[in-house]
């Protein structure tokens, strides 16, 4: 068994099989992106061993752990073989193992697989070290350029176009599995936990910031659905230049209708009710009644006016209105044309 201190945390998922031997519950809550669930104990077994460790002794806990571990040794070896054989190089038997702190659980599995003939590495400090690395990424400086604009400005489509042109983008809504508005979770996968969102974001920024002259992001509230952009990172984004796509209300309304108009009426109504406190009782009733009567345009018009006011307030809170916002007047939502205009403004350093 080897323990290579040069196996940096960010390299996980890059060329190795990466078993996470924590319990299924720990893994499902959050894990290192690219890692594979390879639990030594079930959630129930982990609870039993942990209780014995705290209430009786380390030795008693280890003996109980061996009761669980012993009968499944062969299966763990066979599962490890399947993991390595499913990789890009079936002959490669290198494995990077981790648990919470790089302690007894990962040590036991590493001993077994090393005995069988695997080339085993232990991730020093385990998942806890990865979490420390994650938090460190959010304190660094990054060359963010923020694409702002009212709801319905096609900012996500514009990011996709910039990506096609070789620009470096960070898709915060994609990482959060949420489009940011009241309707943002409809038709999207379940959101990750806050911890998992941070893990995904840190690795994405780490990878993409290495050689990037600019990191393009969409202007977001700190909260995206049920998750939050970490405070340090959000402050850095708030201090970055904002290019505001100024698109007529009517164009944005038509775009929103195309994006969301065909969604389930029940889900749309429930989404409107969720923002009742901020939207107000009267406007909520009007928006819902219009929707039920099939008057989608009238309903969405109420919501769009609400989001326009909400977005202006969020800009003001970020203290960027005075000299950080560059408004770009655009006729409509045309990703290619708008990308041309946006990049021209950036190249000329318009008022930034």
Q: What is the end-to-end Cα distance of the chain in Å, rounded?
A: 54
| DSSP-based three-state secondary structure for 103 | coil
List, in sequence order, every residue forming a beta bridge with 20; answer none if it has no partner. 37, 98
Please identify which residue in the block is written with the tokens 């790089």: 102
215-218 β-sheet, strand order: 215-218, 144-149, 242-246, 325-329
d(CA 49, CA 59): 10
d(CA 201, CA 155): 19
Residue 195: closest CA among 226, 156, 238, 159: 226
Supply the DSSP string of 281-328, one letter for each residue.
HHHHHHHHHHHHTT-HHHHHHHHHHHHHHHHHHHHHHTT-TTTTEEEE
Q: For residue 184, what is the DSSP state?
A: T
Give the number of other Cβ atoms within 10 Å of residue 193's Cβ.
14
d(CA 72, CA 63): 15
User: Does the annotation mark 347 as catalytic?
Assistant: no
| DSSP-based three-state secondary structure for 147 | strand
CB-based contacts of 256, cutoff 8 Å, min separation 6: 151, 152, 300, 304
d(CA 62, CA 53): 8
Please identify which residue in the block is written with the tokens 């669930």: 37
Question: Kindly report the CA angle at 50 between 46 and 55, in degrees rounded to 5?
Answer: 150
| DSSP-based three-state secondary structure for 13 | coil
Catalytic residue among 61, 99, 201, 202: 99
d(CA 184, CA 224): 9
Residues with active-site annotation: 99
């Amino acid at each position: 068994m080897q323990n290579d201190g040069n196996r940096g945390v960010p390299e996980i998922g890059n060329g190795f099989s990466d078993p996470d031997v924590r319990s299924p519950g720990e893994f499902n809550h959050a894990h290192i992106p690219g890692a594979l669930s390879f639990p030594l104990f079930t959630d129930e077994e982990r609870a039993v061993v942990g209780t014995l460790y705290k209430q009786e002794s380390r030795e008693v806990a280890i003996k109980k752990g061996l009761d669980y571990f012993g009968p499944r040794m062969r299966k763990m070896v066979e599962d490890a073989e399947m993991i390595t054989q499913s990789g890009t190089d079936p002959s490669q038997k290198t494995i990077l193992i981790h648990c919470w702190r790089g302690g007894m659980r990962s040590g036991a599995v590493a001993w077994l697989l090393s005995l069988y003939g695997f080339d085993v590495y232990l991730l020093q400090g385990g998942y806890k070290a990865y979490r420390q690395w994650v938090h460190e990424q959010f304190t660094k400086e990054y060359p963010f350029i923020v694409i702002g604009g009212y709801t319905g400005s096609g900012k996500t489509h514009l990011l996709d176009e910039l990506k096609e042109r070789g620009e470096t983008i960070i898709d915060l809504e994609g990482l959060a599995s949420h489009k940011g508005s009241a309707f943002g979770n409809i038709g999207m996968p379940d959101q990750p936990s806050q911890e998992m969102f941070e893990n995904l974001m840190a690795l994405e920024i780490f990878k993409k910031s290495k050689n990037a002259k600019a990191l393009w992001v969409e202007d977001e509230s700190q909260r995206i659905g049920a998750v939050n952009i970490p405070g340090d990172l959000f402050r850095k984004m708030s201090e970055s230049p904002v290019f505001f796509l100024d698109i007529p209300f009517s164009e944005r309304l038509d775009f929103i209708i195309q994006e969301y108009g065909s969604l389930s009426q029940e889900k749309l109504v429930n989404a409107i009710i969720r923002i009742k406190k901020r939207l107000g009782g009267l406007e909520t009733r009007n928006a819902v009644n219009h929707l039920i009567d099939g008057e989608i345009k009238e309903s969405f018009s109420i919501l769009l006016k609400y989001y326009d006011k909400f977005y202006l307030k969020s800009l003001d809170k970020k203290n960027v209105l005075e000299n950080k916002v560059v408004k770009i007047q655009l006729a409509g939502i045309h990703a290619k044309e708008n990308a041309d205009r946006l990049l021209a403004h950036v190249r000329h350093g318009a008022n930034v």
